[in-house]
Each structure stands twice: as C-alpha cells, then as structure tokens.
Amino acid sequence: MGRVTRTAPDLWHHYGRTRQATDRAVPDTFHWNWSQDSGPGVEVLGDLTGLRVGDLGAGAGRHAAHLAAHHRPAVTDAVDASPGQCAMATDLYGHLAPRLRVVPSDAVGHLRATRGAYDVLYSVFGALDFTEPGTLLPAARAALRPGGRLAFSTLAHCLGGAPARSRVRPVDVPARTRDGEPATLRRWVLKDHVWRTLLDEAGFTRIAIDVLPAAAQGQRTAGTLLVTARRPG
C-alpha cells in the first residue's frame, strides 16, 4: 500500500479576506511597525533598483507589491506557505508580474533552493515570527549574496503585554483551519539580545536592533523590534 502524504492545514486561509474585498490598491506606503502607520519605511532596505528581493511570509503580498510598483527591483518574490494567502496575492497583484512573483513555498524550503540568489531579504511580522529561527536564519544567510541585507520586524513583546522570551522558545497562538477547526500556531517572540545572539550564530554581521514603541495602548497593540543585519561581503 502506498504512503499517504498529508498536507498541513492552511492556518492563514481566512486572514485578510475582508480587506481583500474592500482594498485592492497597491499600497503607496511601507511600514515596519505593528500598527502599520508610522516610523521608518522602505529606506531601511536601501536602494533596490535592479536587485532581487525576497519577502519571507509575504501573506497577501501588500509590502512586496509596494516595492515592485514603486522601487524598481529586478524582481520581488512574495514567498508564503499558505495556499490561501498566495491565491489572494495573485488575485490582488498578479498584474505586477514579472516584477512581482508569488512563490507558494515555506520560507526555509525556498531559501535552501535559492542559495546565493538574493540581494535583500525581509519580513514584516512574517516568516521570522513563525519559523524556528535556528533553522530559518542560516538558510537566509545562505540565500543572500555576499554583502546582502536581511531586515525584519517582529513583536517586542507578546500581544496582551506579556514579556518576550529570554530563551528560544515559542509562544502558542490560537488559530483556525480553513474549515473553522481550532488549531495552534507557534510564534517566536524573543528579547532583542536573543535575536542578536541567533543572528551572530548564523553568521550575520552589522546587526542592529531598534525598538519602535506602540502607537497606542491596548490588548492588541505592541511595540516592534526592527532588526537589520548583513551577510559578510
């Protein structure tokens, strides 16, 4: 009897569906902070003209679409493991091809298949939040060209106010499958010094971590860590 291969449930299928129906424009801004309304923007990534860029955990591709439309990269790959999110990104921004490519893949698998291919990799509360960092960060370094840049934003503390982890351990986040069944996501919410150690161990240099304060108070607001690093040239 042949082996049965089970596909992991799509825990992001429902995310962003309401916005898809009402906001289909290419965003004209790019923000790193949790509330997506202030602070540093795309300048963190430097001049992208003619470069190959990867968005890790791109979701519906809004950040990647902004780059493709406004900043002249050779290509921006919007990488996401969720079939639902990839379908949404294609529906919203397929017209930006070939400068924008939707890549249906988990981040680690894609990075391992594209060693030395990228000038810039970034994530806005994406794959860096939801993938074991000891696996993802070395794969990201290997996928960057010498001198390439990694940038990502991640939670400075848990939603609800609990502190970030001082060890490399995830927190559990409630989620639902496409069929509405309860499920759990693992999210890495780590203190800044833990991220710094992980990046150093993965071989990155020029590591910088800035704290972007929460714009308001409340259960669903949070401060942001904005992290940048380089693959040595």
Task: Return mean pLDDT, the chain.
Answer: 93
What is the radius of gyration, based on Cα positions, of the chain?
17
170 belongs to a structural domain: no
Residue-level pLDDT at 7: 64
16 belongs to a structural domain: no
Report the distance separating Cα 162 and Cα 62, nearest Å.
29
CATH code: domain of residue 69: 3.40.50.150
5 belongs to a structural domain: no
176 belongs to a structural domain: no
125 belongs to a structural domain: yes
Q: Kindly report, residue by residue over 23-64, the tens digit of the pLDDT.
A: 899 999 999 999 999 899 999 999 999 999 999 999 999 999
Question: Please, are residues 210 and 226 in contact by the beta-carbon 8 Å criterion?
Answer: yes
Expressed as residue numbers, the domain containing 133 is 26-154+190-230
Those residues with Cβ within 8 angstroms of residue 1's Cβ, 6 or more apart along the chain or in another chain = none
What is the DSSP annotation of 68-79?
HHHS--SEEEEE
Number of domains in the chain: 1
47 belongs to a structural domain: yes
213 belongs to a structural domain: yes
The pTM of the full predicted model, rounded to 2 decimals, is: 0.93
**Which of 55-69, 116-130, 159-173 shows the lowest mean pLDDT across its residues?**
159-173
- The three-class DSSP label of residue 83 is helix
Residue-level pLDDT at 217: 66
Hey, what are 158's tokens? 């848990």
**pLDDT band, residue 4 (cuts 50/70/90):** very low
58 belongs to a structural domain: yes
